[in-house]
A and B are shown apart, each in its own frame.
Chain A
Amino acid sequence: MLRIDEGSTRHWLLRLLGFAVITFIVVWVPTQMSSSRIGQFTDAFILMIAAMSLNLVLGFTGQISIGHSAFFGIGGYTAAILIKDHGWSPGYTFYAAAVVAFVVGCVVALPALRIRGIYLALVTLAVAVLFPTLVRWKKLAWLTDGSKGMDSVRYEDVPVWPILGELKGREGRAVFMFWLGLIVVVATYLVCRGIVKSRFGRALVAIRDNETAAAVMGVNLTTTKVLVFGVSAALCALGGVLSTLKSGVITPDGQYVTLLGSIVFLLVMIVGGAGTLWGPIIGGLVYVWLDNTTRDIGTSDSGILGALFGWADQSPATLILGLVLVVIMFAAPYGLVGLAKRLGRKVVVIVPRPVGSSTPR
């Protein structure tokens, strides 16, 4: 077993190595892989963003939300409406979607956060169910185009970024969406990290650990919860914008816009590791990988898997992931990141700085 002092040269080298591996993968995927494979990574990015946003509320603050599919949908629809009806350039819709979702998130949170536990779950559930209904509503059809949804919501021509070279056609679009997605993932990660490591972030964990004790420490429960809900909704909306720009369409029963989306976000977050910064990122990769590798299972009637899942006319990915989730809950209650940390500790131990050296000498 390797013991490395926190902040030592070797610790920095280890971090550098991790960074190099990630950078390598990130560059390798869009330059060497097929455009459908690249698209799968973008799908993973979309899920990472949504799961990271949910993680702020549920993983770090302990407030359950089954309503995040609605914020995701709000993001997608804000982008679609601004691009189609108001001629916005797609890039700017990220900001607008975040603002709209922030406001809606705060408004939803105000009454919802006066209640707790199962009741909060029910209120957010209602939000998730209400959103697609609202979008379909005839009186709103002028805005949302009702059940048929909106299409051709995408970059007419992919913007030219000198660093990427010239991007053309389907392939070019896939590569561009990959980089755009990556930027949003990194931005979301940095926002989450900044929040979690701040005074505000400590208040969130304090609320999760012991709400009443947090209150008597001077943490304003309502303000804190409403704010984190708003920020979370805003981040989730970014995922919605990305998803809409990638597929070019959004409908009231589109991917992740319905209640099912909220469930998927939950799965991704929990499988990866709730309350950890990297959990949703790992969860997103694992989910998309499982989704794609299991998609063809059952389409051929041969073999054990065919016998097991042949009856299903849809991808059993969610079912399999559900089973994996159950297994993980037993094997790794803190998700894959928690498991990795535990296993990793058998190989490398980062020794914290000794007492009294918290300030540099």
Chain B
Amino acid sequence: MSLLEVRALSAGYGPVEVLHGIDLDVDHGEMVVILGANGAGKTTTMRAVSGMIGRSGSVTFDGVDITRTNAEKLVGMGIAHVPQGRGTFPDLTVMDNLRVGAYARSGGIAADIDRWFAVFPRLAERRDQRAGSLSGGEQQMLAIARALMSHPKLLLCDEPSLGLAPLITQEVFEVLKKLNADEGLSVLLVEQNANLALKVAQRVYLLETGTVVASGSAAQIASDDAIRKAYLGA
């Protein structure tokens, strides 16, 4: 059984339905990417999975039906969400941002902070700085480290490359890849930069106006001519 099983997921905002019945799986230790144009519903999918918005259909996580579980509970169960636009807390220090990341649990927090400081040395240097004073890349690193503080089994990462210089984007993706390979962390990634995403992810879903129009292994998708034309701009 997969770690995350999404079946016939519908979700939206108030009267507007954005997702019209999506099926999606993330296996243990897998890195899956959702590709799609602006407004396709990628962010909405992430929000629906992490329980931030109402949803119908069924969502199963680690064998447990979580369709009616709210966001705060899901953190404790092992779903961490790095929202689009990072969502770091600008007035809290780097340290305090990480502490809030561990809000759903207790014990060993200092050790965890040290652990992620080792992975993100630039955050360590800025530990007492307000998060608002960090660069975009540093904030993205902080957002990821903060999410990892909750000991997730599944990391939802929404467009980490948004607004970052290519070199920094690369760095962020290296880290994600390493976490996936070395720690066995399952990742559900949303990305506009398809070429980059296809290099790190194992499987791909293509989203178009709230519907999954294609899915397959990264290699399959990358070699499908029609898809290449439509989505990869080549």
A residues lining the B interface (CB < 8 Å): 199, 202-203, 205-206, 208-210, 212-220, 275, 352-353, 355, 358-359
B residues lining the A interface (CB < 8 Å): 50, 52, 71-72, 75-76, 80-81, 83, 87-92, 95-96, 99-101, 103-104, 110, 124-125, 127-128, 146, 150
Q: In the complex where A212-B52, A213-B83, A215-B52 touch, is A220 in contact with B72 (Cβ < 8 A)? A: yes
Contact of B89 among A206, A218, A275, A359 (CB under 8 A): A206
Distance in angstroms from A142 CB to nearest chain B CB is 44
Contacts of A217 in B (CB 8 A): 75, 100-101, 103-104, 146, 150
Contacts of A208 in B (CB 8 A): 91
Are the CB atoms of B124 and A355 closer together than 8 Å? yes
Compute how far the CA of A210 lies from the CA of B80 in the bound complex, rounded to whole angstroms.
16
Contacts of A212 in B (CB 8 A): 52, 83, 87
Are the CB atoms of A203 and B92 closer together than 8 Å? no
Contact of A203 among B81, B100, B125 (CB under 8 A): B100
Contacts of A203 in B (CB 8 A): 100, 103
26 examples of A-B residue contacts, CB within 8 angstroms? A199-B99, A202-B92, A202-B103, A206-B89, A206-B92, A209-B90, A209-B91, A209-B92, A210-B87, A212-B52, A212-B83, A213-B87, A216-B52, A216-B83, A217-B75, A217-B100, A217-B104, A217-B146, A218-B76, A218-B104, A218-B150, A219-B72, A219-B103, A275-B91, A355-B125, A355-B127
**Minimal Cβ-Cβ distance residue in A for B81:** A216
Are the CB atoms of A218 and B92 closer together than 8 Å? no
Contacts of A205 in B (CB 8 A): 89, 91-92, 96
Contact of A216 among B71, B90, B127, B128 (CB under 8 A): B71
Contacts of A218 in B (CB 8 A): 71-72, 75-76, 103-104, 150
Are the CB atoms of B99 and A216 closer together than 8 Å? no
Distance in angstroms from A7 CB to nearest chain B CB is 13
Compute how far the CA of A199 lies from the CA of B96 in the bound complex, rounded to whole angstroms.
9
Are the CB atoms of A206 and B52 closer together than 8 Å? no
Contacts of B127 in A (CB 8 A): 355, 358
Closest 5 interchain pairs by CB? A218-B104, A213-B87, A218-B75, A209-B89, A216-B81
Distance in angstroms from B42 CB to nearest chain A CB is 16
Distance in angstroms from B150 CB to nearest chain A CB is 7
Are the CB atoms of A210 and B89 closer together than 8 Å? yes
Known contacts A209-B90, A218-B76; 16 additional CB pairs below 8 A are A202-B96, A202-B103, A205-B89, A205-B92, A205-B96, A206-B89, A209-B91, A210-B88, A212-B83, A216-B80, A217-B101, A217-B103, A275-B91, A355-B124, A355-B125, A358-B127
Distance in angstroms from B133 CB to nearest chain A CB is 13
Are the CB atoms of B100 and A202 closer together than 8 Å? yes
Contacts of B91 in A (CB 8 A): 205, 208-209, 275
Distance in angstroms from B131 CB to nearest chain A CB is 8
Contact of A213 among B72, B89, B110, B128 (CB under 8 A): B89
Compute how far the CA of A219 lies from the CA of B96 in the bound complex, rounded to whole angstroms.
14
Distance in angstroms from A213 CB to nearest chain B CB is 3
**Minimal Cβ-Cβ distance residue in B for A356:** B124
Q: In the complex where A210-B89, A212-B87, A355-B125 touch, is A202 in contact with B99 (Cβ < 8 A)? A: yes
Q: In the complex where A208-B91, A209-B91, A210-B87 touch, is A216 in contact with B100 (Cβ < 8 A)? A: no
Distance in angstroms from A98 CB to nearest chain B CB is 27
Contacts of B83 in A (CB 8 A): 212-213, 216
**Minimal Cβ-Cβ distance residue in B for A209:** B89
**Minimal Cβ-Cβ distance residue in A for B150:** A218
Compute how far the CA of A98 lies from the CA of B75 in the bound complex, rounded to whole angstroms.
34
Distance in angstroms from B228 CB to nearest chain A CB is 34
Distance in angstroms from B146 CB to nearest chain A CB is 7
Distance in angstroms from B190 CB to nearest chain A CB is 14
Indicate the member of B90, B91, B95, B103 with the most A CB atoms within 10 Å.
B103
Distance in angstroms from A351 CB to nearest chain B CB is 11
Q: In the complex where A206-B92, A212-B52, A355-B125 touch, is A219 in contact with B100 (Cβ < 8 A)? A: yes
Compute how far the CA of A213 lies from the CA of B144 in the bound complex, rounded to whole angstroms.
12
Compute how far the CA of A25 lies from the CA of B80 in the bound complex, rounded to whole angstroms.
51
Contacts of A352 in B (CB 8 A): 128
Compute how far the CA of A216 lies from the CA of B100 in the bound complex, rounded to whole angstroms.
10
Contacts of B50 in A (CB 8 A): 216
Contacts of B87 in A (CB 8 A): 210, 212-213, 216
Contacts of B75 in A (CB 8 A): 216-218
Distance in angstroms from B171 CB to nearest chain A CB is 21
Distance in angstroms from B145 CB to nearest chain A CB is 12
Contacts of A206 in B (CB 8 A): 89, 92, 100
Contacts of B124 in A (CB 8 A): 355
Contacts of B76 in A (CB 8 A): 218
